[in-house]
């Protein structure tokens, strides 16, 4: 006689704790930059227009390279 059992179901908290920590995303959207760095979407738009902030366009989408953004912030930090 063979007994078939269901696999244990894990709670979400258990699943997230078992996964390895991922490195932060390299390419950020406008909303992600607003959330992480505190630049509103309007402020970002002005800075892009004046070419003050490093960004890339992929079609109609604006993306920010986290590495370039961090470097730019470090270089333009007020002492």
State residue 51's pLDDT score. 95
d(CA 14, CA 19): 9
Neighbours of 72 (CB within 10 A): 17
pTM higher than 0.75: no
State residue 19's pLDDT score. 58
Cα torsion angle, 46, 52, 56, 57, sign: positive
Domains of the chain: 24-75 (1.10.10)
State residue 40's pLDDT score. 96
Q: pLDDT tens per residue, the chain (79 residues)?
A: 556 655 566 566 555 555 567 878 899 999 999 999 999 999 999 999 999 999 999 999 999 999 999 999 999 887 6
State residue 41's pLDDT score. 96
Two structure tokens written together for 11 = 């709670």
């Amino acid at each position: 006689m063979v007994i078939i059992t269901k696999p244990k179901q894990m709670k979400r908290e258990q699943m997230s704790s078992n996964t390895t920590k991922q490195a932060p995303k390299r390419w950020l959207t406008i909303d992600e930059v607003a959330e992480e760095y505190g630049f509103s979407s309007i402020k970002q738009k002005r800075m892009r227009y004046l070419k003050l902030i490093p960004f890339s366009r992929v079609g109609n989408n604006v993306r920010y390279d986290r590495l370039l953004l961090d470097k730019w912030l470090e270089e333009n930090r007020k002492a």
